[in-house]
């Protein structure tokens, strides 16, 4: 293997590692976003039903 092939191989390894890191980061972000969305939906759902309950019992 000459120097050119060697450096190209190293470059490919580095880019592969950074790609794996990016994929890991993106999946982590998506997980956090999903959890946040679920929490917001649960809160708004709870708030909605408690409001409906309060209004119906106030009549």
Domain count of the fold of the chain: 1
The confidence score (pLDDT) of residue 2 equals: 60
Q: What is the DSSP code string of 13-44?
A: HHHHHHHHHHHHHHHHHHHHHHHHHHHHHHHH
Cα separations in angstroms, 20 against 14, 40, 47: 10, 30, 40
Q: Which domain holds residue 28?
A: 1-59
Low-confidence ranges of the chain (pLDDT < 50): none
pLDDT in tens, 44-58: 999 999 999 999 998
pTM (global) more than 0.75: no
Token code pair at residue 17: 């590692």
**Which SS3 state, helix, strand or coil, does residue 2 take?**
coil
């Amino acid at each position: 293997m000459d120097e050119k092939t060697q450096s190209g191989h190293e470059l490919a390894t580095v880019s592969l590692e950074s790609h794996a890191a990016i994929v890991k980061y993106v999946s982590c972000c998506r997980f956090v976003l999903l959890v946040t969305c679920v929490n917001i939906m649960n809160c708004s759902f709870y708030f909605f039903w408690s409001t409906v309950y309060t209004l119906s019992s106030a009549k």
